[in-house]
Amino acid sequence: MKSIVFDLDGTLVDSAPDIQAAANRMLAAQGLDPLDLPTIISFVGNGLPKLVERVMRVRGLAPERHGELTQVTLDFYSRASADLTRPYPNVIKALETLSGAGFALGVCTNKPEAPARDILCALDIERFFGVVVGGDSLAVKKPDPAPLHRAFEALGHDARLYVGDSEIDAETAERAGVDFALFTEGYRKRPMEALTHAFRFDDFAALPGFAMQCA
Ligand SMILES: O=C(O)COP(=O)(O)O
Ligand SMILES: [Mg+2]
């Protein structure tokens, strides 16, 4: 039976509004103007430390303060990681269908593991997942294939599918040697044709049919 691992931000959940709120609270604490949602979305993908680095660069903050301001942003985010974050339409139904059909499910995200787990719990979808690998769970992050390998190893099945929304996810799947399904409504920057994928979908209602056909 097949195992399926999901990316989190821009794939299972639209989380950018809470990420934006945390980044803007950090900026406000420095007396700086907020950033709009499209700008924040363009900074998501390589994990929270990288997002803070990008926010600092556009607001002219000294790079030496990166460690401190990453912690400030993470503290704000940890206190409110699921206030505005919602699953995309039909995500919960798809997870129910897939787990009911015997698929082993997991999460591999570049978001730090603690807020990733908090979000899954707050949205009551943690029960579907046998493993959660975060951006700080290992020494390396996606697009290094190690976090994805770790997730699939924990699920313990051979046939493998990774579901994600970004160029980072497509590259990670390619380097890990697993099939990739692209959710087209997330935070991708390049045209969907530019990303290697076995399947693409704009509605989670379409995913179980594809997964079952290749299981
Ligand atoms: O936290 C990020 O920057 C990206 O997270 P994701 O890997 O779940 O898309
Ligand atoms: Mg993503």
Beta bridge partners of 5: 106, 162
Specify whether 56 is located in the same domain as 96: no
Per the structure, the count of domains in the chain is 2
Q: How many residues does the chain have?
A: 215
Q: Around Cβ 93, how many Cβ atoms within 10 Å?
A: 14
User: pLDDT tens digit string along 25-47?
Assistant: 999 999 999 999 999 999 999 99
Domain termination site, one of 31, 56, 79: 79
Looking at the fold, whether 68 and 121 belong to one and the same domain comes out as: no
Pair 109, 142 in one domain: yes
pLDDT tens, position by position, 65-117: 999 999 999 999 999 999 999 999 999 999 999 999 999 999 999 999 999 99
144 is in an annotated binding site: no
Is 7 considered catalytic here? yes
- Residue-wise pLDDT tens digits, 130-189: 999 999 999 999 999 999 999 999 998 777 999 999 999 999 999 999 999 999 999 999
Ligand 1, from 109, 140, 182: best to mutate by most atoms within 8 Å of Cβ? 109
How does 2-16 read in b/e, with b if 16+ C-beta sit within 10 Å? Answer: bbbbbbbbbbbbbbb
Give the ligand with the smallest distance to the CA of 188.
2
Q: What is the ipTM of this complex?
A: 0.96
Question: Domain containing 163: what range?
Answer: 3-14+85-214
pLDDT on residue 1: 53
Kindly report the pTM of this predicted structure. Answer: 0.97
Query: Which ligand has its closest atom nearest to the C-alpha of 187?
Result: 2
Largest interatomic CA distance in the chain:
54
Of 25, 55, 79, which residue sits at a domain end? 79
What's 172's domain CATH number? 3.40.50.1000
Q: Is the CB of 39 under 6 A from ligand 1?
A: no
